Structures are given as C-alpha cells and as structure tokens.
C-alpha cells in the first residue's frame, strides 16, 4: 500500500517541482505508525525504517504506544549529523523533546543549521563522551525532568557509559556487538580516549556483548525485552513497566548481525561474515563483567 501511495505521488508531481524526500519519509512513517498492531509480541514483526539505520523506528513507535504516560523526552549519544538516527522520527513525528550528543563539532554545526533545529525542542552538544563528563552533559538539559528513552551508540565504551549514568529512563536502547557472541559477558576494557577505528583496523573491536549488557541492565533495574532483527540494538525496559512486555533471555533475544563492515589495514571493506569476524580479533583483551577479569578473545 505504501509503495502505491509513493508511486501515485511521484506520478502526480511535475518534474520541475522539487521533491522533499524527508517529508515523503515522514508521510510513510506516519502511515506505518497508524498501522502498528500493539497486540504483537515479537518486535521484529513491527519494524520499519524512516530515519533509523535499520527497523528501529517501528520498534520505538510500538513500545511507546504500549507504555502508558511515558515521558516524551529522549537522549541519544553518537548521532553523527542526525540524518540517520533512532530518535529523529520521534522528534519530528511525535514532537518529543531531546538531547543529542556527538563528538564532532562539525556534525553539531550541521545539525544546528537544519530547519528542524528551530522547529523542534532539541539540544545538540558537541562532546567526546567519557565516564567523567556524561552526567554533567545530561544534567545540562535534563536536570529535573524524567526521560522516556535513552539510546547509547558510541561505538566503543557503551557498557561503561551506561554503568555510570545516574538517570533511569523508562526505555534504554543499547548497541551491542554480536561479533562477541551470545555466551560470554564481555566488553572492551574502559579507555577514556577509545576510538573504534584506532583500536583495531577491522573496526570490529568495540562495545559489549549482549550478555554483558543484560547483566548490567539487571543491576540497574531493567529487563531485556528483545533486539532488532539487524542484530545491533538491544531493548531494555525499566522494571516498573516490565509487566507490559515478556522478558527475554539473552539466548532468546540474541540476533547475530549480518551486515559486513569489517576492514583491512588500509581501511578497505573486507565483507567478513559469521565466525570469520571473531577470528581476526583473537588475542585482543576484553573485560569479563562476571569475573571482573581481563581475558583474551
């Protein structure tokens, strides 16, 4: 049905009239949002993409429809230039308010020049996130407000940053590294100056396993309710809302990613897949969150 609508619009618009692709995406997303079946139990069944990298826009719309009186505020780290993001559709479709942070001043300058920056209630900050500065960055925008959604995607120290964050949003979306598998509860050891592309040429040595994040979530009062079908984002709900969703074990929720982003020493894509990816990380150090010991991959 959506394809027919877009085909109709493209046939009706004269060639000399410029088409705003973002507005067409929003229209598409709005229609799909109205079609969400809140009776579904598998979040893969309601995925769709508007501005998210994969199907997370649909998952987020499904979750906020299910949670009563969720605060209409979000925080997202690692947004780059915010053209592809898990909270942008929330901002523009649902008129949520938010804080976004990226380590690049150039990316933040780009965001602030877009018309969306004055049209909506959003704060964009340029900062390289560490355990020492994250809470002050959050408090600069959300000192006395409840937060509905927190999304952490900083390609490296995700586990350590969530561990030290003081706020407790209703929903937490965490990027996990499926290359580490579903068995070991491990993360890259903390380094304040960690940069993924410098840590290992493959770019695969980053972040934490799903098992490590599930353990941390439990400590912080959250339950794992699933992962997206792309195998890179895990969804956690705060315990006081967990009765709305069935809890998943790590084995039930885990999805192995199929996207092939590995690179060689010269920065060229090598398209490694499956177990090939972990093999090139052999011997690198990881921190086991169950034993609190450094181990080798």
Into how many domains does the chain fold? 1
How much is the average pLDDT of 276-291?
Answer: 97
> What is the per-residue pLDDT for 41?
86
% of the chain at pLDDT higher than 70: 94
Q: Note the pLDDT tens digit of each residue in 205-221.
A: 999 999 999 999 999 99
Q: Confidence class of residue 6 from pLDDT cuts 50, 70 and 90?
A: very low
CATH assignment at residue 188: 3.40.50.150
Cβ proximity of 61 and 70 under 8 Å: no
% of the chain at pLDDT higher than 90: 90
Q: Which residue range is the domain that position 217 belongs to? A: 2-296
> What is the per-residue pLDDT for 18?
55
Q: Note the pLDDT tens digit of each residue in 112-124.
A: 999 999 999 999 9
Q: Which residue would you say has higher pLDDT here, 195 or 144?
A: 195
Q: Note the pLDDT tens digit of each residue in 24-51.
A: 999 999 999 999 999 998 899 999 999 9
pLDDT beyond 90 at 105? yes
Whole-angstrom CA distances from 283 to 13, 87, 165, 248, 294 are 58, 36, 30, 31, 12
Q: Confidence class of residue 145 from pLDDT cuts 50, 70 and 90?
A: confident
Which segments of 41-194 does DSSP mark as H helices, in order?
A: 56-66, 88-93, 105-113, 116-119, 134-139, 158-164
Do the bridges between strand 97-102 and strand 122-126 make them parallel or antiparallel, or are there none, so unpaired? parallel
């Amino acid at each position: 049905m959506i394809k027919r609508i877009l085909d109709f619009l493209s046939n009706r618009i004269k060639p000399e009239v410029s088409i705003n692709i973002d507005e067409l995406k929003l229209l598409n997303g709005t229609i799909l949002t109205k079609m969400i079946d809140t009776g579904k139990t598998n979040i893969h069944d309601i995925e769709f993409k508007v501005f998210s990298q994969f199907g997370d826009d649909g998952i987020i719309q499904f979750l906020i429809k299910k949670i009563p009186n969720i605060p209409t505020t979000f925080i997202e780290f690692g947004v780059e230039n915010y053209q592809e993001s898990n909270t942008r559709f929330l901002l523009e479709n649902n008129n949520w308010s938010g804080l976004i942070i990226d380590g690049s001043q150039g990316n933040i300058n780009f965001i602030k020049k877009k018309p969306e920056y004055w049209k909506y209630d959003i704060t964009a900050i340029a900062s390289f996130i560490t355990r020492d500065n994250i809470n002050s960055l959050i408090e600069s925008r959300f000192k006395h407000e409840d937060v509905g959604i927190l999304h952490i995607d900083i390609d490296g120290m995700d586990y350590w940053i969530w561990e030290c964050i003081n706020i407790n949003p209703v929903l937490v979306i965490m990027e996990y590294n499926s290359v580490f598998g579903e068995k070991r509860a491990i993360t890259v050891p903390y380094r304040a100056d960690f940069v993924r592309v410098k840590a290992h040429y493959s770019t695969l040595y980053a972040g934490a396993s799903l098992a490590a994040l599930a353990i941390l979530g439990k400590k912080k009062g959250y339950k794992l309710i699933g992962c997206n079908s792309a195998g890179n984002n895990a969804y956690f709900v705060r315990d006081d809302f967990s009765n709305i969703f069935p809890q998943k074990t790590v084995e039930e929720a885990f999805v192995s990613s199929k996207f092939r982003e590995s690179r060689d020493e010269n920065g060229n894509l090598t398209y490694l897949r499956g177990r090939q990816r972990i093999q090139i990380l052999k011997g690198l150090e990881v921190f086991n969150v169950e034993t609190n010991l450094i181990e080798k991959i």
